[in-house]
């Protein structure tokens, strides 16, 4: 082949494998060599399996193809699962040293589906402790660095996945998103990251399958075609997760992209920007996103400034209640271990301790506020196909910082206030994608534009993203 194997996207690599132009063993060996060279500096992939075992599995995949059998489009491709998703036989630590010996007996739904599509799981991708905060570091595995500039943060909580994907240590990657964990690190790595509509990718199964579905797993990719294919693999109803649902369009759409990209002529995009000054943003962030909107406008889209139509500060307080209610039980389970309070990150303890005074009445009010916001957002979609805002409020910051204490001259009052731009799609259960928008003037730090569509309009959002992808050219 003319191009190095690691330069191919997952779809092209899959086609080469199935055409028998390259063997699964050759693909695995090439990726493992690259991981050996680059991962020690990035620290994106952790809990790696032995190379000999992986090459044996790759040889088995080759034998199956020789016999005319394929498991699916991921047949023989190396893959690493985010370390918040249970993967049988591998540690699932959530980046917590107290869970270092927590080896999963069973696969999560997502991990099982990725394996069933033919992927060979080589290990896990690094995360912040408990997935909290958009900076991937922990005391078990250490710090993950940005693939574009190792001096700055990779984001998170899917920071390991994004760094590995951007450095071509993986052909495609999975992640999860509660507060932008698929969108923020994708923005900082020049990648596509999709938070699906609530329930499209069932989360779990776990001890609670109703409220916990506010968080979701989803795909990361270097192309919209790959993004759509991985989403089609992850997605679909499972009876154990009652709020999950299936979209029959996704599988066929993945095969048709990029030819079936959505038309941009007449596309109506409402630009929230910084919510009329509510969101603190660093200089250049809005400019980079507006440059992406200019590309869309030149292709025929109509871009209009859009007032939020809701009280952003009141919604932030609603978000704090939801986040604490869902995070505190996970932290509490580990706090039961001896000496845990002294060994957990302070941000996790803060989430847990803040929730101790939370009663049902307060949570019910937060549920009602979330419902009101959904109705307000749906009203905005009466006149707009998409709503746009930055996928991150600041540029990647030095890896030595735990989190930005100040953004755009404003002090951040919590460890995650600087990620506020990601809560709107989450609270509405709406699909949101981060698409590459541009770079910092230094040329090293990418930024992403966040596009939000109506709930359950994931396929349409992907078609429009594919059309945008054709506009940006070779700098992806």
Q: How many domains does the chain have?
A: 1
- Sign, CA torsion 124/130/133/138: negative
Residue 338 lies in a domain: no
DSSP 243: T
CA contacts within 13 A on the Cβ side of 92? 15
CA distance 229 to 233: 6
Q: Does residue 204 sit within a domain?
A: yes
How far apart (Å, rounded) are the C-alpha atoms in residues 131 and 96?
9
Q: What is the pLDDT of residue 188?
A: 98
Q: Which residues are 78's β-sheet partners?
A: 120
Tokens of 246: 């299936």
Residue 326 placed within a domain: no
Q: From CA 437, how far away is CA 72, in angstroms rounded?
A: 32
Q: Report the C-alpha gap between 49 and 31 in whole angstroms.
A: 13
CA quadruple 421, 427, 429, 433: dihedral, nearest 10:
10
Query: What is d(CA 14, CA 172) in angstroms, rounded to the nearest whole number?
Result: 11
Gap between the Cα atoms of 54 and 52, Å rounded: 5
Beta-strand runs (E) in 286-403: 302-305, 386-390
Give the Cα separation of 449 and 469 in Å (integer): 12
Instruction: Give pLDDT, residue 205.
Output: 83
To the question of pTM greater than 0.75 for the whole model, the response is yes
pLDDT at position 68 is: 98
Q: Which residues pair with 434 in a beta bridge?
A: 193, 450
Q: Which helix (H) or strand (E) holds 434?
A: strand 432-439
Q: Strand 120-125 and strand 142-143: pairing?
A: unpaired
Q: Report if residue 339 sits inside a domain.
A: no
Q: What is the pLDDT of residue 204?
A: 87
Which residues 6+ apart lie within 8 Å of 327 measured at CB?
130, 132, 348, 351, 352, 355
Residue 423 phi, psi (nearest 5): -80, -20
Residue 1 lies in a domain: no
CATH number at residue 441: 3.90.1300.10
124's CB contacts (< 8 A; 6+ apart) are 45, 46, 47, 80, 81, 82, 83, 87, 90, 91, 92, 93, 160
Q: Which residues in the chain land under pLDDT 70? A: 1, 474-476
Q: From CA 202, how far away is CA 85, in angstroms rounded?
A: 12
Q: Identify the three-state secondary structure at position 242.
A: coil
Q: Which residues are catalytic?
A: 82, 157, 181
d(CA 202, CA 58): 29
Strand pairing partners for 377? none
Residue 139: which domain range? 7-314+358-475
Would 86 be classed as within a structural domain? yes
No. of helices (H) and no. of strands (E), the chain: 15, 15
| Residue 103 contacts residue 91 (beta carbons within 8 Å) | yes
d(CA 30, CA 326): 41
pLDDT at 231: 98
Integer Cα distance of 293 and 468 in angstroms: 10
Report yes or no on 342 lying in a domain. no
Q: What is the pLDDT of residue 2?
A: 76
Structure tokens at 293: 């909107």
Collapsed DSSP state (helix, strand, coil) of residue 463: helix
Residue 106: inside a domain: yes
């Amino acid at each position: 082949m003319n191009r190095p194997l690691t330069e191919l996207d997952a779809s092209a690599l899959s086609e080469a494998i199935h055409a028998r132009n390259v063997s699964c063993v050759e693909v695995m060996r090439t990726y493992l060599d690259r991981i050996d060279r680059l991962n020690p500096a990035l620290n994106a992939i952790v809990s790696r399996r032995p190379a000999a075992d992986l090459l044996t599995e790759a040889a088995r995949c080759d034998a199956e193809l020789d016999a005319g059998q394929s498991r699916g489009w991921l047949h023989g491709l190396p893959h690493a699962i985010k370390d918040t998703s249970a993967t049988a036989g591998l540690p699932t630590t959530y980046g917590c040293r107290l869970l270092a010996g927590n080896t999963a007996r069973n696969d999560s739904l997502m991990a099982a589906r990725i394996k069933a599509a033919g992927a060979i799981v080589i290990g896990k991708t690094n995360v912040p402790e408990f997935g909290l905060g958009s900076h991937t570091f922990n005391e078990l595995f250490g710090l993950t660095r940005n693939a574009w500039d190792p001096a700055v943060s990779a984001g998170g909580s899917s920071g390991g996945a994004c760094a590995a994907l951007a450095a071509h240590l993986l052909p495609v990657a999975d992640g999860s998103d509660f507060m932008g964990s698929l969108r923020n690190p994708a923005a900082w790595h020049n990648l596509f990251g999709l938070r699906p509509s609530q329930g499209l990718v069932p989360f779990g199964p776990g001890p609670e399958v109703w409220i916990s579905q506010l968080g979701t797993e989803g795909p990361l990719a270097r192309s919209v075609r790959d993004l759509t294919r991985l989403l089609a693999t992850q997605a679909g109803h499972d009876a154990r997760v009652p709020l999950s649902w299936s979209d029959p369009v996704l599988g066929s759409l993945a095969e048709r992209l990029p030819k079936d990209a959505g038309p941009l002529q007449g596309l109506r995009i409402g630009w929230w920007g910084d919510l009329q000054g509510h969101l603190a943003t660093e200089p250049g962030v809005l400019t980079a996103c507006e440059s992406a909107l200019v590309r869309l406008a030149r292709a025929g889209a109509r871009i209009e400034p859009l007032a939020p139509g809701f009280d952003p500060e009141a919604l932030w307080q609603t978000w704090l209640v939801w986040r604490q209610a869902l995070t505190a039980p996970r932290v509490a389970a580990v706090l039961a271990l001896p000496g845990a309070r002294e060994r957990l990150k302070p941000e996790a303890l803060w989430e847990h301790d803040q929730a101790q005074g939370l009663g049902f009445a307060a949570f019910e009010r937060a549920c009602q506020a979330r419902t009101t916001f959904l109705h307000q957002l749906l009203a905005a979609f009466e006149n707009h196909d998409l709503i746009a805002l930055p996928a991150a409020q600041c540029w990647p910051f030095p890896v030595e910082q735990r989190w930005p204490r100040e953004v755009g001259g404003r002090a951040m009052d919590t460890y995650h206030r600087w990620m506020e731009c990601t809560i709107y799609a989450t609270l509405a259960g709406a699909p949101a994608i981060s698409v590459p928008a541009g770079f910092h003037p230094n040329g090293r730090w990418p930024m992403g534009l966040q596009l939000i569509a109506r709930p359950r309009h994931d396929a349409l959002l992907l078609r429009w993203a594919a059309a945008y992808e054709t506009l940006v050219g070779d700098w992806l």
